[in-house]
A and B are shown apart, each in its own frame.
Chain A
């Protein structure tokens, strides 16, 4: 089946630093989404991308939908302690729409104050 390769697996950064993580696939996707999950909680949507090449920002977060439709990146600027969590990319496959999202394995972010 379709798989998403997400990297890095984990990151340890100092407060104030910028963060970049990405997601790649051998298959194309029609939508790319980035979710954040904190311990004991369900994932929460951060950013959604719908067109190849699209660049979207949400506060300190910026994400791009790769032009080949096979990759996406998420940047977080000026990190703060509450950015701690696991960040998942998710892709909506071309067949059947976005009801069956495929998730990456996540990037675990630790921010040291």
Chain B
């Protein structure tokens, strides 16, 4: 069964450093997402991406964050200058286009645990 994959599984970085989290969505999906979950808190939406541009972003997704689909398979989240409060689990998800069925399930990857020291 196809699945979303994410690398690395765990990333440790120093405050102020740039990090890039990588995701490979399911191959025929057109919509891509990033969510994060700070330890012990809710899963929070960051951004959605379609047709090579951001379609929606939350208030969390400020100028320190960017997303890119550099090739036909990868989808990346970059944090330009990490802060301590960026420590969290970051989940990538993808979905196919729903046409009139109401079905728009998002498939999530296993996550990247980001630790900022």
A binds B: no
